[in-house]
Amino acid sequence: MIEVGSEAGLYARYRTELVRFATALVGPSDAADVVSDAMLSLLKSGELAEAERPAALMYRAVLAKANSMHRSVFRRRAREQRFAQRVTIEDPELHPEVVTAVVALSPQQRACVYLTYWEDLASKDVAERLGIGEGTVKRYLARARARLREVLND
Amino acid sequence: MTDQTTTALRRTMATIVDVAPDAPELPAVPAAVSPARRWTPTLIAAAAFMVALILGVGTVMLIGLGDGEGVAPGSSGTGVTEFDPLTAETDVVAVFDAAAIELDPLLLPATVEQVAGLQGVSDVAVVSADDLGALLDLPVVPGPGIVVSTSGEPDVAEEVAMQLTDGTMDALVQVLFFAAVGEARVERAIDVLTRNAVPLVDGLLLATPSGPEPQFDTGPLGQEMLLDVTDDEEFLTELTASIPSRALLGEGFQNELAGTPVYLGHVGEVHGIVAPFRSDKGVLMICDIRSIGARTTGMGCNDLRDGGWVEDGVLNGRISIGATYSGDSSEPAAITFTALPEDVSVVAIELENGGDRYWQRPVGGSALFVVPGRSNISFTVTTFDSTGGIVTTEKRSLSP
């Protein structure tokens, strides 16, 4: 049995959302690896067991790993391109240009978009979860929305 | 109120979630791993001391390496106001305060790592937001991001991270960062250009194919534009002699040849050569030279400082393509791409006027397309990796 509040228990509680979050950041092919790497880092550090806000810690760790993965932009773009094409094919009603625009956002922007539009968090809560300022979240969202508005109005 | 953008975003997020894989099992951790060190008053005091030390060292490095006119002798502390970034050609990238590495774990470690990992960048200086503000005389606004901490003493209870305004960031990047990155990129491009080049005639090397072989069908990309290589030594000697050893380019810059020119090949009577030049300001550039017959008819240089290197305050590692066009409407135009990423297998262009499409395997990290001269040439250039994945794509519109 998994002890509630233990590292395993915390992971069991959040893992589905974490892998979805990672998918929004790096695409489906790398999402599981990113979550796995992030959790390994947290377990090694021992921080998770002592964290006051374990969910925020796990989300930040996933974002940090996603950032690392994005160092090679060329690989990233090729990966995102494949990702975007696959998503477009799987949902013909979706605006493909929106998907393309979303995957072109930076990881931080995408993280904010995901938490706002999928998890329905307010900017303040997004900021707390990612450990960044609320103003930054609003700025990221404003930029993302502006970029997407351009796409939708084209 | 739910507008069109919100709806589109929600649908997109839902679709992304739909394709999310199953969550992995919790990874096993080797036993007897010590917990990470936590911030304690003692550690904070020690860190504050280190921050102060690093700030001083970083400042000295900035001043000491800024070896240009108008650069004052080095001093420590806040003497950065004497540093004139506009005249500095430094190997140093200025970033941040060490405290931020702990306080803003989302952004800074990767950023510092990326900067330090750039080829040709040997030092990463650390400088505080205050110092940068003084240095650039531009406002610094609160918010987490690329530049950090004011007091030097890390305060884990409050957000002390700071972010430069877009204008400040642009100025910083232009002045301090691009200088280092541009040089690194040119050096890398020249390395790719010459690494496997072979002597052709005295003073001229021949570029050899670079990048992986394409493993995809290049047919849809149009016609392959093959580069021929002449073996006429007399012609090649004459061609080499026509390459300028000095050139006036840009705003009064006097540029000198800084290495052996490399011959790409020719398409018809148009020959392409790429060579490094260094300006009298010390800026290294990669230059493409177009010759018609054995006569040099055009030349362009790029210091590779441009490109979208920073997204939302985070370095993204992007390398843009340097493209230089020379020619006029009465002569064939040479479109040369240099400094192509090493994983580029195929370069393809599609001309907008008429829709002609051509592709080419790069040689020495470069590609040369010869097209009919026009007063304006618009095209889309796309580079592909060996699997056919797009590495970069962009539209260009060029005029002689």
Tell me which of A39, A63, A95, A117 to substitute to probe the interface with B (most B C-beta atoms closer than 10 Å): A117
By Cβ distance, the residue of A31, A46, A68 closest to B33 is A46
B4-11 contacts, C-beta under 8 A, 24 or more apart: B4/A152, B5/A145, B5/A148, B5/A149, B5/A152, B6/A117, B8/A95, B8/A98, B8/A148, B8/A152, B9/A98, B9/A102, B9/A113, B9/A117, B9/A144, B9/A145, B9/A148, B10/A117, B10/A118, B11/A91, B11/A93, B11/A94, B11/A95, B11/A98
Domain boundary among B156, B184, B212: B184
- For residue A15, is it within any domain? yes
Same domain for B354 and B206: yes
Determine, for residues B13 and A11 on separate chains, whether the beta-carbon distance falls below 8 Å.
no
Question: pLDDT-derived band of residue B361, with 50, 70 and 90 as boundaries?
Answer: very high
Question: pLDDT-derived band of residue B357, with 50, 70 and 90 as boundaries?
Answer: very high
Chain B residue with Cα closest to A109: B312
**Is B22 in CB contact (< 8 Å) with chain A?**
yes
B105-109, B121-125, B349-353: which is most confident: B349-353
Tell me which of A15, A16, A20, A37 to substitute to probe the interface with B (most B C-beta atoms closer than 10 Å): A20
Query: Rounded to 10 degrees, what is the CA torsion of B49, B53, B55, B56?
Result: 140
Work out the minimum CA distance from A125 to partner chain B, whole angstroms.
Answer: 16
- For residue A130, is it within any domain? no
User: CB B51: neighbour CB atoms within 10 A?
Assistant: 24
Query: Rounded to 10 degrees, what is the CA torsion of A44, A49, A52, A54?
Result: 70
- Boundaries of domain holding B368: 198-398
Distances (CA, A) of B147 to A130, B61, B98: 18, 18, 10
- Chain A partners of B34 at a C-beta cutoff of 8 Å? 46
SS3 B239: helix
Same domain for B261 and B148: no
CB pairs under 8 A between A and B: 180
Mean pLDDT of B274-298: 82
Tokens of B22: 């199953």
Contact B357, B222 (CB under 8 A): yes
Tell me which of B1, B2, B9, B393 to substitute to probe the interface with A (most A C-beta atoms closer than 10 Å): B9
Work out the minimum CA distance from A35 to partner chain B, whole angstroms.
Answer: 8
Q: Is the model more confident about A72 or about B166?
A: B166
- For residue A131, is it within any domain? no
- For residue B32, is it within any domain? no
Same domain for B393 and B348: yes
- Alpha-carbon distance of B241 to B261, in angstroms, equals 11
Distances (CA, A) of B182 to A14, A106, B276, B277, B312: 44, 23, 13, 13, 20
Same domain for B306 and B177: no
pLDDT at B228 over 90: yes
Domain boundary among B137, B158, B184: B184
Q: For position B218, which CATH number holds?
A: 2.60.40.10
Please give the distance of CA B104 from its chain centroid, rounded to a whole number. 25
Question: With a CB-CB cutoff of 8 Å, which residues 114-133 of chain B face chain A?
Answer: 114
Percent of chain B with pLDDT over 70: 50
Mean pLDDT of B16-31: 76
Burial of B58: CB neighbours in 10 Å, binned 0-12, 13-18, 19+: buried
Give the pLDDT score at B220: 93
Q: List alpha helices for B228-361, DSSP H.
A: 233-242
Mean pLDDT of B158-179: 43
pLDDT at B26 over 70: yes
- For residue B120, is it within any domain? yes
CA proximity to B149, closest of B106, B104, B188: B104
Same domain for B281 and B229: yes
- For residue A113, is it within any domain? no
State how many domains chain B has: 2
Give the pLDDT score at B369: 92
- For residue B189, is it within any domain? no
* Residues 6 or more apart in contact with residue A4 via CB below 8 angstroms: none
Question: With a CB-CB cutoff of 8 Å, which residues 340-369 of chain B face chain A?
Answer: 341, 343
**Is B106 in CB contact (< 8 Å) with chain A?**
yes
Work out the minimum CA distance from A69 to partner chain B, whole angstroms.
Answer: 10
Question: pLDDT-derived band of residue A98, with 50, 70 and 90 as boundaries?
Answer: low
By Cβ distance, the residue of B13, B19, B392 closest to A118 is B13
Q: Is the model more confident about B300 or about B159?
A: B300
- For residue B31, is it within any domain? no
Give the pLDDT score at A93: 40
Q: Tell me the average pLDDT of chain A.
A: 73
Q: Which range has the worst mean pLDDT, A65-74, B116-125, B318-327?
A: B116-125
**Is B18 in CB contact (< 8 Å) with chain A?**
yes
pLDDT at B181 over 60: no
Same domain for B272 and B169: no
Same domain for B224 and B345: yes
Same domain for B341 and B292: yes
- Alpha-carbon distance of A26 to B385, in angstroms, equals 20
Mean pLDDT of A53-64: 88
Query: What are the pLDDT digits (tens) for B123-151?
Result: 444 444 444 444 443 333 333 333 333 33
- For residue A102, is it within any domain? no
* DSSP 8-state symbol, B174: I
Question: pLDDT-derived band of residue B287, with 50, 70 and 90 as boundaries?
Answer: confident
A111-120, B97-106, B124-133, B359-368: which is most confident: B359-368
Q: Is the model more confident about B55 or about B205?
A: B205
- Boundaries of domain holding A23: 1-69
Query: What are the pLDDT digits (tens) for B253-276?
Result: 567 889 999 999 999 999 999 999
Give the pLDDT score at A133: 79
Q: Which range has the worst mean pLDDT, A68-72, B97-101, B113-117?
A: B97-101
- Alpha-carbon distance of B218 to B320, in angstroms, equals 23
- Alpha-carbon distance of B113 to A97, in angstroms, equals 33
Give the pLDDT score at B88: 31
- Chain B partners of A139 at a C-beta cutoff of 8 Å? 143
Helix (H) or strand (E) holding B103: helix B98-103
Domain boundary among B184, B218, B253: B184
Tell me which of A63, A87, A95, A108 to substitute to probe the interface with B (most B C-beta atoms closer than 10 Å): A108
- For residue A84, is it within any domain? no
Q: Is the model more confident about B179 or about B323?
A: B323
- For residue B260, is it within any domain? yes
SS3 B362: coil
- For residue B19, is it within any domain? no
Determine, for residues A36 and B27 on separate chains, whether the beta-carbon distance falls below 8 Å.
yes
- For residue B190, is it within any domain? no
Tokens of B160: 């002390």
Q: Is the model more confident about B192 or about A71?
A: B192
- For residue A118, is it within any domain? no
Question: pLDDT-derived band of residue B197, with 50, 70 and 90 as boundaries?
Answer: very high
- Rounded to 5°, the CA angle B238-B240-B243 comes to 115
Determine, for residues B145 and A136 on separate chains, whether the beta-carbon distance falls below 8 Å.
yes
- Alpha-carbon distance of B33 to B309, in angstroms, equals 38
Give the pLDDT score at B390: 87
- Chain B partners of A64 at a C-beta cutoff of 8 Å? 105-106, 109-110
Tokens of B121: 């960048």
Give the pLDDT score at B33: 33
Chain A residue with Cα closest to B3: A149
Same domain for B212 and B178: no
pLDDT at B97 over 50: no
Question: pLDDT-derived band of residue A74, with 50, 70 and 90 as boundaries?
Answer: very low
Query: What are the pLDDT digits (tens) for A117-151?
Result: 888 898 889 988 888 878 878 887 887 787 777 77
Query: What are the pLDDT digits (tens) for A7-42?
Result: 888 888 888 999 999 888 877 777 888 898 889 888
Question: With a CB-CB cutoff of 8 Å, which residues 138-177 of chain B face chain A?
Answer: 142-145, 159, 161, 163
Tell how strand B310-311 and strand B314-315 pair up: antiparallel
Question: pLDDT-derived band of residue B204, with 50, 70 and 90 as boundaries?
Answer: very high
State how many domains chain A has: 1
Query: What are the pLDDT digits (tens) for B46-87?
Result: 233 233 323 322 222 222 222 222 222 222 222 222 223 333
- For residue A129, is it within any domain? no
By Cβ distance, the residue of A39, A45, A133 closest to B26 is A39
Please give the distance of CA B100 from its chain centroid, rounded to a whole number. 25
- For residue B328, is it within any domain? yes
Burial of B192: CB neighbours in 10 Å, binned 0-12, 13-18, 19+: buried
Same domain for B207 and B338: yes
Strand-pairing partners, residue B223, are B358
Tokens of A130: 């990612």
Same domain for B172 and B287: no
**Is B212 in CB contact (< 8 Å) with chain A?**
no
CA proximity to A148, closest of A74, A89, A95: A95
**Is B40 in CB contact (< 8 Å) with chain A?**
no
SS3 B204: strand
